[in-house]
């Protein structure tokens, strides 16, 4: 203790033990992980022609990772789904399986983080957020999730009050004065990075966690009743949106007063019936202009209509039991639902928007159905 | 005029110590301001949100770096120079180089923080300053630490005592940690989550092997020096020292529990964290058994009151830390704002409080002037109040955060985070109190260190007056 050299050697070798374990030992154990296939042959080799995981991030996503770090996003967001014993990350819908070391071998900087003031982002690309949604969230999180404490980043966008190329319309209550944002290069990089964050493959060391919710989801297609919380994606959405979608789904599937009876023609799968009823899933009409959708929901539709390039000719009575009886709130909910299920992802519809359109067409007779040509001319 | 040996030593170190304390004080204020901004951004996300260089993440990281390297680094230099010189009974060596390196250290940190705000942040814990800065910091640190060791080696007594072990060990551990981390992260970078292990190991070890042993060493020096009693059960100190040396570097990795790393890493961290109760118990026995023999002096002597606040905070919160490293508890709290509790109790409640005590103890001896009692007392009570508010808010808020986050059915923003928002407000208020408290502290030490900063103006005007007369 009295000789400074012996003393230094003592305290530094105490440190060296830990160094041997955490640096040398750990590097030997998992420092040279390579991509591999989801399932291995019995002898431990990769099957021929199998797809290898994980994959390299795209170039723009790698640049996005740098922006993500430089803005300090790691301070509040982790990117790791913990093991089943350690937490309820999978149950929360933050991933299909716990993250493992191999998932990160292509990440240049590791951003697994250590604090979750915001949600985990390891699988943000798997959740049903559109790029448009992510941009809006970056610009002003509170416009989508009112309780969010994520700081807005308006400096990544250029604000416009008219629509231009690449502009994104902000979801807001007052539709008479819409605002648009044009993402900067940085913003596009970050969103590409976020959209690419997904651990949607299985690895030999970790397979997907089977969840009860999935069983409910598959069985629900055959039944008309809707159980609460059946859609695991819902818990990922902001509460107001999730509740709109849940109530919209109920209206869509309901064959009693107060319901919409939509599923009888468009089917619970949203695929419609070929040649008779047009699909809603991936439909250019559903994902397009809200005003036309609101009008159809109030008065119905008849005559020839072209959906995704396919012509249909049938009659859609005003939805609701009795026909045309849906309230503003119900129309908003059911439209928000059809715009956000079966792989659809588009902005929600608010009751205020419906009320606005209703007052515009208040002179129209209640059962006077629209035609495709009439809607397009407006 | 005759000086005692102590006065000669103090005089030899006066300017170096003044420089480091003065810079430490400025960094403390910078950190307090950044801490307030970060806290305000959590309560109101729109606060200063239009500035790209001032995002929450950047401010938060800049605050931690200003606090640990700016305030922590400078105060470690100042106090270790004084204690090592005093214990060695030797005059300080290399005064000019010490101040020159000190300037480089401070310029380096300034550039580093500006780099963080400008968007050049590194992804590694406590190594977030841009990589170009680090060689500068490392070299200036090495020069400063070398001269402290040179001073130590010119000591008159061969035997060393506990404060010397702890302080010298902390001086030597920092560069060793840095070389290990720098080699594994930058020079010869590891792939995948190995980086995360190393970066977490460095960030946590920095607190455990740099700030902690230093503050323990200061407490081992000040408690007997002020109470005039030898350390009770001093023979345990050496055991406590080697326990920290051997266990602390292993214990810090328990934060990776359940993460994408081999299971043995968090497991060994947990075991070693539990074993840490031995060094914690030793230090607390040594300190409190000595100091509480005479409660009056703890109460009446302000530097000692600061030190005992620090050691009590160390003991209590380290035990809490042990409990939180148990896997059953860790999975509740590991990603919650309890991390802020751990950081702030160690850096604020323990390290800073002991440094405040040390500064108040040595300043009158080094400069011959003292700070008014009222100001010191104000500083103590506001700091104590602020730290307690801060720690309780993070502790209770962290538990709430962790428990609610484990309920998958609760919505994240509207239920989990909404329920901890009141605690963010409390921390914001606590940072206002602490900011005021630190402002009083810094103004007072600056007044003592540089009683008449515009003296040279007066001198020159006197000179010109004389010239005019001539």
pLDDT in tens, B93-103: 888 999 999 99
Cβ contact, residue pair A30, B194, below 8 Å: yes
A71 and A184 assigned to the same domain: yes
Residue A93 lies in a domain: yes
Cβ distance B262 to A147 less than 8 Å, yes or no, reads: no
Domain termination site, one of A153, A171, A196: A196
Contact state of A31 with B194 under an 8 Å Cβ cutoff: yes
Asked if A209 has any chain B CB less than 8 Å from its own CB, the reply is no
Burial grade of A265 (CB within 10 A; 0-12, 13-18, 19 or more): middle
A192 and A219 inside one domain:
no
> Predicted confidence band at B168 (pLDDT cuts at 50, 70, 90)?
very high
Q: Do A104 and B192 touch (CB under 8 A)?
A: yes
**b (16+ CB within 10 A) / e for B215-250:** bbbbbbbbbbebbeeebbeeebbeebbbbbbbbbbb
Chain A residues within 8 A of B220 when measuring between CB atoms: none
A75-88 per-position pLDDT tens digit:
999 999 988 888 88
Kindly determine whether residue A145 and residue B258, on different chains, have CB atoms separated by under 8 Å.
no
Dihedral sign, Cα of residue B34, residue B38, residue B39, residue B44: positive
Q: Which two tokens stand for residue B423?
A: 């605690």
Which residues in chain A are contacts of B153 at CB distance < 8 A?
4
Q: CA A83: distance to chain centroid?
A: 23
A111 touches chain B (CB under 8 A): yes
* Residues 6+ positions from B300 with CB-CB distance below 8 Å: none
* Alpha helices in B186-236, H assignment, sequence order: 194-205, 212-227
Verify whether the Cβ–Cβ distance B417 to A149 is below 8 Å: yes
- Backbone angles phi and psi of A316, in degrees to 5: -110, 110
In this structure, the number of other CB atoms found within 10 A of the CB of residue B191 comes to 18
Interface membership of A256 toward B (CB under 8 Å): no
Q: How far is CA B74 from the centre of its chain?
A: 10
Q: Judge: A116–B46 Cβ closer than 8 Å, yes or no.
A: no
CA distance B351 to chain A (A): 21
Which residue does chain B place closest to A102, by CA atoms? B192
Residue A218 has pLDDT above 60, yes or no: no
* Residue extents of the structural domains in chain B: 5-465
Q: Is A165 contained in some domain?
A: yes
Mutation target for A interface from B260, B328, B330, B422: give the one with most A CBs within 10 A: B260
Q: Do A1 and B405 touch (CB under 8 A)?
A: no
Asked if B50 and A155 come within 8 Å (Cβ–Cβ), the reply is yes
A82 contacts B153? CB cut-off 8 A: no
Q: Are residues A278 and A333 in the same domain?
A: yes
C-beta atoms of B337 and A117 within 8 A? yes
In-domain check, residue A343: yes
Q: Which residues contact B34 (CB under 8 A, 6 or more apart)?
A: B59, B60, B62, B63, B66
Strand arrangement, sheet containing A168-169 = A157-160, A180-183, A168-169
Task: Judge whether A39 lies within some domain.
Answer: no
**Structure tokens that stand for A44 in this block:** 């431990």
In chain A, the DSSP E strands lie at 157-160, 168-169, 180-183, 301-307, 310-316, 370-371
Q: Which residues in chain B are closer than 8 Å to A71, comparing Cβ atoms?
A: 52, 55, 57-58, 119
- From residue A254, alpha-carbon distances to A81, A247, A265 in Å are 37, 10, 13
Residues of chain B with Cβ-Cβ distance to A70 below 8 Å are 119-121
Across-strand partners of B68? Answer: none
pLDDT in tens, A166-196: 778 777 655 567 788 888 889 988 998 999 8
User: How far apart are the CA of B70 and the nearest CA of chain A, in angstroms?
Assistant: 20
Structurally, how many domains does chain A consist of? 2
In a domain, A96, yes or no: yes
User: Are the C-beta atoms of A40 and A204 separated by less than 8 Å?
Assistant: yes
Q: Give the DSSP H or E segment for B172.
A: helix B162-182
For every residue of B240-254, DSSP letters joined together read HHHHHHHHHHHHGGG
Are B260 and A80 within 8 A, CB to CB? Answer: yes
**Angle subtended by helix axes B74-88 and B162-182, to nearest 10:** 140
Per the CB < 8 Å rule, is A101 touching B262?
yes
- Does residue A182 lie within any of the structural domains? yes
Dist. CA A330–CA A317, nearest whole Å: 17
Per residue in B25-75, pLDDT (tens digit) is 999 999 999 999 999 999 998 888 888 889 999 999 999 999 999 999 999
A216 or B423: which carries more pLDDT confidence? B423
C-alpha to C-alpha distance for A248 and A244, rounded to whole angstroms:
6
Note the CATH architecture for domain B5-465. Up-down Bundle (1.20)
Beta carbons of B276 and B247 less than 8 angstroms apart: yes
Q: Are residues A316 and A363 in the same domain?
A: yes
Q: Copy the structure tokens of residue B357.
A: 């005590």
Quick one: pLDDT band at residue B341, thresholds 50, 70, 90? very high
Same domain, A122 and A267: no
With bands split at pLDDT 50, 70 and 90, how would you rate the model's confidence at B24? very high
Contact A70, B120 (CB under 8 A): yes
Higher pLDDT, B76 or A110: B76
Residue A157 φ then ψ, to 5°: -130, 160
Average pLDDT, chain A: 81
For an interface test with A, which of B41, B191, B407, B415 has the most A Cβ atoms less than 10 Å from its Cβ?
Answer: B191
Residue B250, both tokens: 């292993």
Q: Which of B272, B408, B414, B428 should one mutate to test binding to chain A, selecting the residue with the greatest count of A CBs within 10 A?
A: B408
Helix, strand, coil % (nearest 5) of chain A?
40, 10, 50
Å between A165 CA and nearest CA of chain B: 24
Residue of A80, A102, A151 with shortest CB distance to B259: A80
Nearest CA in chain A to B55: A71
Taking the Cβ of residue B173 and every Cβ of chain A, the question of whether any pair is shorter than 8 Å is answered with yes
Residues paired with residue A169 on neighbouring β-strands, in sequence order = A180
β-partners of residue A312 are A305
Percent above pLDDT 70 for chain B: 96
Q: Do B421 and A149 touch (CB under 8 A)?
A: yes
Is residue A174 located within the same domain as residue A286?
no
pTM above 0.80, yes or no: no
Question: What residues in A contact B50, CB-CB < 8 Å?
Answer: 154-155
Contacts of A201 (CB under 8 A, 6+ apart): A38, A51, A53, A54
Mean pLDDT of the residues in chain B? 90
User: pLDDT, tens digit, for every residue of B457-470?
Assistant: 666 555 555 555 44
Instruction: Choose among B249, B337, B411: nearest Cβ to A239.
Output: B411
ipTM confidence score = 0.89
In the predicted structure, residue B429 carries a pLDDT above the cut 90: yes
Q: How many Å apart are CA B265 and CA B194, to the nearest integer? A: 11
**Percent of chain B scoring above 90 in pLDDT:** 60
Q: Rounded to an integer, what is the distance from CA B167 to the centroid of its chain? A: 13
Q: Do B123 and A111 touch (CB under 8 A)?
A: yes
Nearest neighbour of B192 by CB, restricted to A14, A83, A101 = A101
The Cα of B6 is separated from the nearest Cα of chain A by a number of Å equal to 22
Q: Please, what sign has the CA dihedral across residues A283, A288, A290, A291?
A: negative
Cβ–Cβ < 8 Å for B294, B227: yes
Give the end of a domain, one of A128, A162, A196.
Answer: A196
Q: Which of A120, A112, A103, A121 is nearest to A55 (CA)?
A: A103
> Does residue A41 lie in a domain region?
no
How big is the A-B interface in CB pairs under 8 Å?
232
12-71 of A, contacting B, C-beta below 8 A: 12, 14-15, 17-19, 21-23, 26-27, 29-33, 69-71
In this predicted structure, which of A226-240, A334-348, B259-273 has the lowest mean pLDDT?
A226-240
Residue A64 lies in domain: 59-196
What are the pLDDT digits (tens) for A292-334?
888 888 888 888 888 877 888 888 888 887 777 888 888 888 8
Nearest to A86 among B165, B258, B261 (CB): B258
Cβ-based neighbours of A359, under 8 Å, separated by 6 or more: none
List, in sequence order, every residue forming a beta bridge with B347; answer none if it has no partner: none
User: Cα separation of B79 and B223, whole Å?
Assistant: 15
> Which of A100-109, A269-278, B355-364 is the least confident region?
A269-278
The pLDDT assigned to A23 comes to 85
Contact list in A for residue B55 (CB cut-off 8 A) is 71-72, 151, 153
Q: Is B408 on the interface with A (CB under 8 A)?
A: yes
Q: Is the pLDDT of residue A216 over 60?
A: no
- Residue A273's CB is within 10 A of a number of other CB atoms, namely 13
pLDDT at B145: 95
CATH number at residue A106: 1.10.760.10
More confident residue, B10 or A239: B10
Residue of chain A whose Cα is closest to the Cα of B118? A70
Chain A positions in Cβ-Cβ contact with residue B259 (cut-off 8 Å)? 80, 82, 99, 112
Do residue B249 and residue A10 have CB atoms under 8 angstroms apart?
no
Nearest to B45 among A8, A78, A152 (CB): A152
Q: Cβ of B197 and A73 within 8 Å?
A: no
Say whether both A352 and A292 belong to one domain.
yes
Q: Which residue among A196, A231, A258 closes a domain?
A: A196
CA dist., res. B388 & res. B365, Å (int): 30
Inform me whether the C-beta atom of residue A1 falls under 8 Å from chain B C-beta atoms.
yes
Is residue A98 one of the residues assigned to a domain?
Answer: yes
**Pair (A221, A187) in one structural domain:** no
Q: Would you call A85 an interface residue with chain B, using a CB distance cutoff of 8 Å?
A: yes
Q: How far is B166 from chain A (nearest CA, A)?
A: 10
* Phi/psi at A181 (5° precision): -125, 140
Same domain, A216 and A362: yes
Same domain? For A140 and A219 the reply is: no
Query: Would you report the helix, strand and coil content of chain B in percent, each value rounded to 5?
Result: 80, 0, 20
A227 vs A244: CA distance, rounded Å:
14
- Give the distance from residue B176's alpha carbon to the nearest chain A alpha carbon, in angstroms: 7
Q: Are A146 and A238 in contact (CB under 8 A)?
A: yes
Per-residue model confidence (pLDDT) at position B161 = 92
- Judged by a CB distance cut-off of 8 A, whether residue A184 touches chain B is no
CB atoms < 10 A from the CB of A256, how many?
Answer: 8
Least confident among A66-70, A80-84, B311-315: A80-84
Q: Which two tokens stand for residue B130?
A: 């841009």
């Amino acid at each position: 203790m009295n000789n400074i050299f012996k003393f230094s050697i003592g305290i530094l070798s105490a440190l060296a033990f830990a160094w041997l374990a955490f640096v040398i030992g750990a590097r030997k154990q998992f420092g040279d992980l390579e991509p591999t296939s989801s399932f291995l042959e019995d002898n431990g080799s990769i099957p021929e022609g199998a797809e290898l995981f994980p994959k390299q991030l795209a170039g723009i996503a790698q640049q996005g990772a740098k922006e993500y770090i430089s803005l300090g996003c790691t301070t509040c967001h982790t990117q790791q789904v913990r093991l089943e014993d350690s937490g309820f990350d999978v149950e929360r819908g933050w991933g299909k399986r716990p993250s493992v070391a191999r998932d990160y071998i292509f990440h240049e900087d590791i951003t697994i983080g250590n604090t979750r003031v915001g949600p985990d982002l390891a699988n943000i690309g798997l959740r049903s957020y559109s790029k448009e949604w992510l941009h809006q969230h970056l610009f002003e999180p509170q416009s989508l999730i009112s309780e969010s404490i994520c700081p807005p980043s308006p400096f990544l966008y250029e604000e416009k009050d008219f629509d231009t190329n690449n502009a994104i319309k902000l979801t807001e209550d007052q539709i008479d004065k819409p605002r648009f944002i044009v993402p900067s290069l940085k913003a596009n990089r970050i969103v590409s990075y976020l959209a690419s964050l997904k651990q949607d493959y299985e690895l030999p060391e970790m397979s997907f966690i089977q969840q009860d919710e999935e069983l409910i989801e598959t069985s629900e297609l055959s039944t008309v009743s809707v159980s609460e919380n059946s859609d695991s994606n819902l818990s990922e959405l902001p509460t107001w949106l999730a509740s709109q979608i849940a109530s919209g789904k109920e209206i869509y599937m309901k064959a009693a007063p107060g319901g919409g009876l939509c599923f009888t023609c468009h089917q619970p799968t949203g695929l419609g019936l070929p040649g008779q009823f047009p699909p809603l899933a991936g439909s250019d009409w559903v994902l397009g202009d809200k005003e036309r959708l609101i009008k159809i929901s109030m008065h119905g539709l008849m005559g020839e209509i072209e959906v995704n390039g396919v012509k249909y000719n049938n009659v859609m009575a005003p939805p609701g039991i009795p026909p045309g009886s849906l309230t503003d709130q119900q129309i908003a909910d059911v439209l928000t639902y059809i715009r956000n299920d079966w792989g659809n992802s588009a902005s929600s519809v608010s009751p205020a928007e419906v009320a606005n359109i209703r007052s515009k067409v208040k002179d129209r007779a209640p059962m006077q159905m629209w035609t495709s040509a009439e809607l397009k001319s407006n | 005029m005759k000086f005692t040996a102590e006065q000669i030593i103090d005089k030899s170190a006066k300017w170096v110590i003044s420089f480091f304390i003065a810079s430490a004080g400025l960094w403390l204020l910078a950190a307090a301001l950044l801490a307030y901004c970060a806290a305000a951004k959590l309560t109101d996300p729109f606060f200063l949100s239009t500035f790209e260089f001032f995002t929450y993440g950047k401010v938060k990281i800049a605050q931690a770096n200003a606090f640990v390297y700016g305030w922590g680094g400078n105060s470690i230099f100042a106090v270790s120079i004084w204690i090592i010189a005093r214990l060695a009974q030797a005059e300080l060596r290399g005064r000019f180089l010490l101040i020159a390196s000190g300037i480089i250290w401070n310029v380096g940190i300034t550039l580093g923080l500006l780099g963080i705000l400008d968007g050049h942040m590194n992804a590694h814990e406590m190594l977030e300053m841009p990589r170009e800065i680090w060689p500068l910091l490392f070299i200036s640190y090495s020069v400063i630490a070398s001269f402290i060791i040179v001073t130590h080696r010119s000591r008159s007594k061969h035997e060393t005592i506990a404060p010397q072990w702890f302080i010298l060990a902390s001086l030597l551990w920092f560069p060793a940690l840095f070389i290990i981390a720098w080699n594994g992260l930058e020079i010869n970078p590891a792939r995948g989550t190995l980086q995360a292990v190393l970066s977490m190991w460095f960030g946590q070890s920095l607190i455990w092997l740099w700030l902690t042993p230093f503050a323990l060493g200061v407490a081992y020096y000040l408690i007997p020096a002020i109470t005039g009693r030898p350390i009770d059960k001093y023979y345990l100190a050496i055991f406590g020292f080697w326990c920290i040396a051997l266990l602390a570097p292993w214990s810090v990795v328990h934060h990776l529990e359940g993460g994408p790393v081999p299971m043995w890493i968090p497991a060994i961290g947990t075991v070693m964290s539990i074993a840490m109760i031995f060094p914690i118990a030793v230090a607390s026995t040594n300190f409190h058994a000595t100091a509480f023999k005479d409660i009056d002096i703890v109460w009446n002597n302000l530097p000692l009151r600061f030190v005992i606040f620090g050691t009590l905070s160390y003991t209590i919160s380290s035990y809490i830390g042990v409990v939180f490293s148990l896997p059953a508890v860790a999975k509740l709290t590991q990603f919650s704002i309890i991390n802020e509790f751990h950081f702030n109790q160690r850096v604020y409640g323990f390290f800073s409080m002991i440094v405040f005590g040390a500064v108040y103890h040595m300043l009158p001896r080094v400069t011959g002037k003292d700070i008014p009692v009222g100001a010191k007392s104000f500083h103590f009570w506001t700091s104590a109040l602020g730290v307690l508010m801060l720690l309780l808010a993070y502790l209770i808020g962290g538990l709430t955060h962790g428990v609610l986050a484990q309920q998958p059915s609760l919505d994240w923003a509207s239920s989990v985070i909404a329920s901890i928002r009141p605690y963010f407000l409390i921390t914001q208020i606590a940072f206002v109190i602490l900011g005021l408290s630190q402002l009083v502290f810094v103004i007072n030490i600056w007044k003592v260190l540089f009683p008449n900063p515009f003296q040279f103006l007066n001198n020159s005007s006197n000179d010109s007056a004389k010239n005019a007369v001539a």
